[in-house]
Amino acid sequence: MAIGQFGPALEQALKLSGDTREKAGLIVHADASLIGKIARGTRKASKPVMRAVIEHYDDGQLSLAAAADVTGGAFAPWLDNVDLHRASVLFKTIEEMQEVLEASGQAPISKTNEQITDAERHQIKQLLMESVEAITALTHLAAVICKEYSFSWLGTWKEHRAELKAKKYLK
């Protein structure tokens, strides 16, 4: 039984880069057999191994897979059975964002949890689910744009965090 999403994402990164498991092992200071076990999904990657691989390959799919594994799936999953062409991802993202806007117009979020009816709770849940779907679409859009146009995935997030800090949204 496969463990998590990181192994298949690592296997994909190795395939795309043309790197061998031996080379990946050198990158993370582990032997090729450990890399093979992680890639096949028979061994869970440690956080230091995940971090080293993510830093080396600078790939959105790897980052999402690591986040999913570390959080037990409480993060946007990498979608592998969809058209990931940049235009298709953009159109789907726009559709998902429109659904969030539509749901936000119906959800009574000005009310507290104690004030809402069961029907209103359902509307708020719909907004939540549409928001999570949009987050997944937006995350894929960012990853696809980074890969397609050779932007750094890690650099993009570093720049974003710096902007948030400059605006005093982060300490």
Rounded CA-CA distance 89/85 in Å is: 6
Among 20, 44, 71, where does a domain finish? 71
Residue 20 identity: T
Rounded CA-CA distance 107/119 in Å is: 10
**Residue 127 is assigned to a structural domain of this protein:** yes
The whole-number pLDDT of residue 34 equals: 95
Q: How many distinct structural domains can be found in the chain?
A: 2
| Residues 29, 64 within the same domain | yes
Rounded CA-CA distance 111/3 in Å is: 41
Among 18, 48, 71, where does a domain finish? 71
Q: For tokens 């999913």, name the residue.
A: 68
**Residue 146 is assigned to a structural domain of this protein:** yes
The whole-number pLDDT of residue 32 equals: 94
**Residue 92 is assigned to a structural domain of this protein:** yes
| Residues 22, 63 within the same domain | yes
pLDDT (tens digit, 9 = 90+) per residue, 93-143?
A: 999 999 999 999 999 999 999 999 999 999 999 999 999 999 999 999 999
**Residue 79 is assigned to a structural domain of this protein:** no
CA distances from 31 to 34, 37, 38, 151 (A): 6, 10, 11, 30
Q: At 69, list the tokens.
A: 């594994």
3-class SS shares of the chain: helix, strand, coil, % to 5: 70, 0, 30
| Residues 61, 116 within the same domain | no
8 A C-beta contact, residue 101 and residue 26: no
Residue 70 identity: V
pLDDT (tens digit, 9 = 90+) per residue, 144-161?
A: 999 999 999 999 999 999
Among 71, 100, 127, where does a domain finish? 71
Rounded CA-CA distance 54/48 in Å is: 10
**Residue 148 is assigned to a structural domain of this protein:** yes
8 A C-beta contact, residue 13 and residue 62: yes
Residue 3 identity: I
**Residue 35 is assigned to a structural domain of this protein:** yes
**Residue 10 is assigned to a structural domain of this protein:** yes
**Residue 119 is assigned to a structural domain of this protein:** yes
pLDDT (tens digit, 9 = 90+) per residue, 63-103?
A: 999 999 999 999 999 998 999 999 999 999 999 999 999 99
- Range of the structural domain that residue 96 is part of: 86-166
| Residues 57, 33 within the same domain | yes
Q: For tokens 């000005």, name the residue.
A: 110
| Residues 160, 93 within the same domain | yes
Q: Rounded to the nearest 10 degrees, what angle do helices 118-149 and 86-106 cross at?
A: 160
Task: Check which CATH number belongs to the domain holding 19 and give it.
Answer: 1.10.260.40
pLDDT (tens digit, 9 = 90+) per residue, 158-171?
A: 999 999 999 999 99
For the chain, percent of residues with pLDDT exceeding 70: 99
| Residues 100, 66 within the same domain | no
